[in-house]
Amino acid sequence: MDRKLAPDSDTNKLWFYLDYEQLPEVRKGGSVDNFMLKLLETMGYASGRFIVFGRPLHLITCGKKFLARMDTGICDKNGRYLLLVQKARRGKNPEPRLIAETIAAYQRNDFVRETKLHLPILNEITFPGITHVGAVPTFYKIKVTAELNDAAVKGTFPSSQAVVYRHTPQLPNGNRKGMNTLDNRAKILQYYQAFKPFIQDSST
Length of the chain: 204
Determine how β-strand 72-75 pairs with β-strand 81-87: antiparallel
The pTM score is: 0.84
Check residue 30 and give its pLDDT.
47
DSSP 11-38: HHHHHHHHHHHTSGGGTTTTHHHHHHHH
Distance CA 161, CA 110 (A): 21
User: Of the ranges 36-40, 77-81, 194-198, which one carries the lowest mean pLDDT score?
Assistant: 36-40
Determine how β-strand 124-133 pairs with β-strand 136-145: antiparallel
pLDDT, tens digit (0-9, with 9 covering 90-100), for 108-156: 999 999 999 999 999 999 999 999 988 899 999 999 999 999 999 999 9
Q: What separation, in Å, do the N-terminal and C-terminal C-alpha atoms of the chain show? A: 43
